[in-house]
Amino acid sequence: MDEIVKGEMKKAEGKVKEEFGKVVGDRSTEWGGKVDQLKGDVQKKSGEIEQDGRRDEGADEPASR
């Protein structure tokens, strides 16, 4: 779950950076923001895959007594 949250944060930061770049006319900053958003997507997807793997193994389920 941690990687999912980190990915979402990276995407949000990237969006802010992209918009800032657009406002000030700095294409490098704008494209850097787009790259950060893509990195966030990858990080989030990685976290989802990891979570699904744990779920398939039963690690997310409470232990039975």
pLDDT in tens, 21-30: 999 999 999 9
Mean pLDDT across 30-40: 97
Average pLDDT score over the chain: 89
Q: Which of 63, 56, 24, 57 is nearest to 32 (CA)?
A: 24
Q: Which of 48, 32, 43 is nearest to 8 (CA)?
A: 43
- For residue 18, give the nearest of 35, 2, 41, 39 by alpha carbon: 35
